Amino acid sequence: MTTIDTGPNAADSLAHDASSDSAAVSLLVGAAAWAITTDHKRIGRLYTGVGLLALLATAALGVVLGVERADDGAKLVDADSLLQLFQAYRVGLVFAAIIPIGLGLAIAVVPLQLGARSLAFPRLALTGFYSWLGGLVLTMTALGANGGIGGGDEQAVDLFLAGQGLMIIGLIASAGCVATSVLTTRAPGMTMRRVPLFAWSALISTLGMLLALPVMFGAIIYLFVDHRYGQFNFGGSEGIRTWIGWGYSVPAIIVYALPAIGVAAETLPVAFKHRQVLRGFKFAGIALIGVTALAATTQQFVSAVTIDTDSETFIRGAVPFLIFAGLPLLGLVMSLGLGLLTAQQGLANGRPKIAAPFVFSLFGVLMIAVGIAANFVLGITDLELLGTSFEEGATLFVVYGAALGVIGGLIFWAPKLSGRVIPDKRVFPLALVGVAGATLAGAPMLIAGFLDQPGGLPANDADVSNMLTIGNIDQGVLWNTVSLAGHGLMALTVLSFVLLMLKMLTEADQPVDNNPCGGHTVEWGTSSPAPAQNYDNVVTVASPEPQFDMTYEASVS
C-alpha cells in the first residue's frame, strides 16, 4: 500500500497556487493555509499571537478592576459582574496568556534549535491549539453568562468547567509534542548535553505541564460530574476554588514561565559574545525551578512554614516549603549567578552588544525572580500574607515577566520566523515601558499585601466586596492606583508590540542574513526565514554552540 504524506508545507502550497486568483480568494486560501498548517513555526505563531491578544485584553481588564479597587465610588462595570470579571482576569493571566505564549514560542523555535525538520506530531499540536482556543472561548462565554467559580447560573458553571477541561486537554497535547521533539528529533550529534538552553527550558516546562495539568483536569472531571449531578462533595460552585484554585497562582504557574528564562539564557551569551559557562549547572538551575510543578501535582498551593513553633510542626511545614519555594529560588539564583559569570568572562571579549531581545529577556527574568522570591516569602506563615493581595503581586510579576521574556524571544528569533529583523530602536522603548508596567502592576500589590489588603481568587460576592473595601488600608487607594497604572503600561506595551509586528509584516521583504543577531546555536545556520522544513540538509552538530564555533573560534585560529 502506498501512502502519500503531503508534507509540512502542503497547506502553504495552496496559498502559492492561488496567487494568480483574485485577492479575496487568495486571502481565503491563505487563511485556510494557516488554519490547517502543520508547519510548527506557524502553529507557534498562532499560539503566541492569540496569547498576546489575550494578554492585552487581560491587562486592560486589570485596569478596569484597578479602577474599581482604587475608587469605591467607581462603577465602571455592574457590581453583579465583578465576580466573573475577577475570575476572567485570573484565567486570562494564566491560561490565556502565560501558558500559550510560552508554549507557542517553544513550538515555533524548539525544532529549529534541535536541527529538526519538523515538530513531533505537528497535527496533534495544531489540534491542541484549537482545543485550547475553543476552551478559552467557552470559558469566557460561561463567565459572561454568570458562570465560573461561585457563579449563579448552574449551566454556565458547568460550561466554565467544560471550557477549562478543553483548554487543559489542548495544552497537554501541545506540550507533549514539544517534549517529544526535544527527546527524539535532535540532529545527529546533538546529545542532551548539547541541547540549547531554550530547548532545555521548554522541555522542563512542558514536562511540568504534563505532570501538573492532568491533576487539575482530574479535579475538573470530579467537579463537573458532581456539580451537574447533586453537588454533594465539593461545595457547589463556590467550592470549585478549593480544588482548582491552585492552578491560577504561584507556585504552580512558575513552571510556565520557564521558556522566558530560557530566552534570557540564550540571549545573554550572545550579548556578551561568550559561551555559557558551566552549562551543566545552568541546566540544573533551570530544572530546579521546574520543581514548582510538584506544587501542582500535590495540589498544595501554599506550603506554609511557621518559624516560632515546636520542631515537629516546623519540619512538617518546612519540607514542602523548601521544595515548593526554596528549590525554585535556589535554581533561579544558580541561573542568575551563572549568567553573571558568563557576562563577566564575556567582558574580556570587548564591549557587549546590548540588543533589544537581551534587554527584554533580562527584564523578564528579573521580574520572574521577584515573583519567585515573593512566592518564598508568601509561604512564611508568621508574615500572615496568605489571603492578601501579596499572592496577586507575585503572580503578576511571574506572568508579566514571562510576557516580557517571550516578547524578547519573538524579537530574537524574528529573522527565522518571519524573515525580518526588528530594529532595536523600535522596541527598546517598549522594553522600558514593559518593565515599568510589570513593576508598577505587581509591586503595589506586594506592599498592599503587607498592609492586609484582601486578595486572591474570589469565590463569591462577599470575597469581591472584601477585595474592593480598601478604605481602612493605609494608602490603599495609592497602591491600587499605581497598580492599575502598571496594568495600563503593560497593555500599552503589548498593544504596541502587536501593532509593530503587524506593520512589519506588511512591509516589503528585505534580504536578511542567516545570523543577523550573532546567535550561537544551530538554528542560525539555516536561511532567514527558515524554510518550511527548517533545513535543506540534515545538519550534524558537534558542539552546543556550533555558530559560535564558526564565528569566534575560527577567527581566533
Partner 1 sequence: MSTSTAPLALPPTAARASRRQLLIGTTLACVAGTMLIGGMLAIWVLLRGRVVETGGRFPVEYIIPEVTTNVMLITIWSLCLFAQWAVYSGTRGDRAHAGLALAVTAVLAIAFINAQAFVYADMAVEIRADYYGALFYAITGTLMAIVIAGLVYTAVAAFGVLGGRLQESEVLSAHALYWYFTAAAYTAVWFVVYVTK
Name the site residues for partner 1 (rule: CB under 8 A): 1, 4-10, 13, 38, 116-118, 120-121, 172, 176-177, 179-180, 183-185, 210-219, 221-222, 224-226, 229-230, 232-233, 243, 297, 299, 533
Whichever of 294 and 459 has its CB closer to partner 1, that residue is 294
- Distance between CA atoms of residues 522 and 526, nearest Å: 8
Which are the contacts of 50, defined by CB distance < 8 A and separation ≥ 6?
100, 133
Half-sphere exposure of 229 (CA within 13 A, CB side): 5
Q: Cβ atoms within 10 A of the Cβ of 555, count?
A: 7
Cα dist. 473→112, 144, 479 in Å? 52, 31, 10
- Report the nearest approach of partner 1 to the CB of residue 75 (Å): 40
Q: Cβ atoms within 10 A of the Cβ of 470, count?
A: 24
Whichever of 169 and 394 has its CB closer to partner 1, that residue is 169
- Report the nearest approach of partner 1 to the CB of residue 182 (Å): 10
- Report the nearest approach of partner 1 to the CB of residue 400 (Å): 29
Whichever of 219 and 441 has its CB closer to partner 1, that residue is 219
Q: Where are the beta strands (DSSP E) in 95-228?
A: none
Q: Which residues of 538-547 are buried (b: 16+ CB within 10 A; e: fewer)?
A: ebebebbbbb
- Report the nearest approach of partner 1 to the CB of residue 216 (Å): 8
For residue 486, which of 444, 428, 427, 430 has the smallest C-alpha distance?
444
- Report the nearest approach of partner 1 to the CB of residue 93 (Å): 23
- Report the nearest approach of partner 1 to the CB of residue 135 (Å): 17
Cα dist. 189→514, 515, 523, 538 in Å? 22, 21, 14, 11
Whichever of 474 and 536 has its CB closer to partner 1, that residue is 536
What is the chain's Cα-based Rg? 23
Whichever of 42 and 420 has its CB closer to partner 1, that residue is 42
Whichever of 23 and 229 has its CB closer to partner 1, that residue is 229
- Distance between CA atoms of residues 379 and 53, nearest Å: 33
Burial class (CB in 10 A: 0-12, 13-18, 19+), 342: buried
Whichever of 95 and 121 has its CB closer to partner 1, that residue is 121
Return the biggest CA–CA distance within the chain.
79
- Report the nearest approach of partner 1 to the CB of residue 9 (Å): 6
Whichever of 337 and 525 has its CB closer to partner 1, that residue is 525
Which are the contacts of 510, defined by CB distance < 8 A and separation ≥ 6?
420, 421
Location of C-alpha cell 514593559:
434
Whichever of 52 and 178 has its CB closer to partner 1, that residue is 178
- Report the nearest approach of partner 1 to the CB of residue 69 (Å): 34
Burial class (CB in 10 A: 0-12, 13-18, 19+), 537: exposed
Which are the contacts of 389, defined by CB distance < 8 A and separation ≥ 6?
445, 446, 448, 449, 453, 454, 455, 456, 467
- Report the nearest approach of partner 1 to the CB of residue 194 (Å): 16
The alpha carbon of 477 is separated from its chain's Cα centroid by a whole number of angstroms, namely 30
349, amino acid identity: N
- Report the nearest approach of partner 1 to the CB of residue 443 (Å): 35
Whichever of 73 and 230 has its CB closer to partner 1, that residue is 230
